[in-house]
A and B are shown apart, each in its own frame.
Chain A
Amino acid sequence: DGGITQSPKYLFRKEGQNVTLSCEQNLNHDAMYWYRQDPGQGLRLIYYSQIVNDFQKGDIAEGYSVSREKKESFPLTVTSAQKNPTAFYLCASSIDAHKGEQFFGPGTRLTVL
């Protein structure tokens, strides 16, 4: 089955540690996205990538980093510089970045202890 997978489903980290969230898609989509979701704030774009080896900052990129070495994979690293990292993180992909719907993964809930 084609789709987007995110792992792990739940993640706990100690303050001051970096952590990497995985996102993989087998839809052959060029564009991939990372969103952060907080209660009452909807989805906020962290980073997006239109093609392999290229990515752009979204609205709230500070404290996060990404890479896009393969078309299928777009991992997100939450660094210790992110002041309030506890949130629900959603990865998405689309055929291209200019139109068409985005397909979402199941999400990763990150809790900083």
Chain B
Amino acid sequence: AQSVTQLDSQVPVFEEAPVELRCNYSSSVSVYLFWYVQYPNQGLQLLLKYLSGSTLVKGINGFEAEFNKSQTSFHLRKPSVHISDTAEYFCAVSNTGNQFYFGTGTSLTVIP
């Protein structure tokens, strides 16, 4: 089975500063990679996904992520965060099997 590790459970960052949320997954022949955002008491919303092609993926709200096969990583980045980016972020992986595997989440807090 796949495993997904989000290395930071909490990330505080000042408004307009850059941020990187880290995600590593266990090796597999081919994987599909996703980042989701969750606001309090809501469902998960897709930020971006990597299925194939360019390793740099751009998503909504100014976020982007880079797929690094050799390091089995899919880190999420944003060059300048806003207060509204305060939320929980989940990395997810699926392979040619039947299931998604989610990380335990990273709580991003943007400080004014």
Q: Which residues of A contact B (CB under 8 A)?
A: 4, 6, 33, 35, 40-43, 45, 48, 50, 56, 58, 88, 90, 92, 97-107, 109
Contacts and interface: CB of A to CB of B under 8 A. Distances in A.
For chain B, the bracket of interface size reads 20 to 34
A104 B38 CA distance: 10
Contacts of A103: 46
Nearest to A35: B102
B54 interface: no
B84 interface: no
A92 B99 CA distance: 12
Nearest to B34: A101
B44 A90 contact: yes
A36 B98 CA distance: 18
A23 B105 CA distance: 24
Q: Which 4 A-B pairs have the closest CB atoms?
A: A104-B43, A42-B104, A104-B44, A43-B102
A40 B105 CA distance: 7
A101 B41 contact: no
Q: Which of B49, B90, B97, B99 has the most CB of A within 10 A?
A: B99
A43 B90 contact: yes
Nearest to A56: B98
Given A56-B98, A90-B44, A104-B44, A99 B32 contact: yes
Interface string B79-97: 0000000000010101011
Nearest to B42: A106
Given A97-B98, A99-B51, A109 B43 contact: no
B42 A98 contact: no
Contacts of B104: 40-42
A8 to B, nearest CB: 13
Given A56-B98, A97-B98, A107 B46 contact: no
Contact of A98 (B34, B49, B97): B97
A48 B98 contact: yes
A98 B98 CA distance: 5
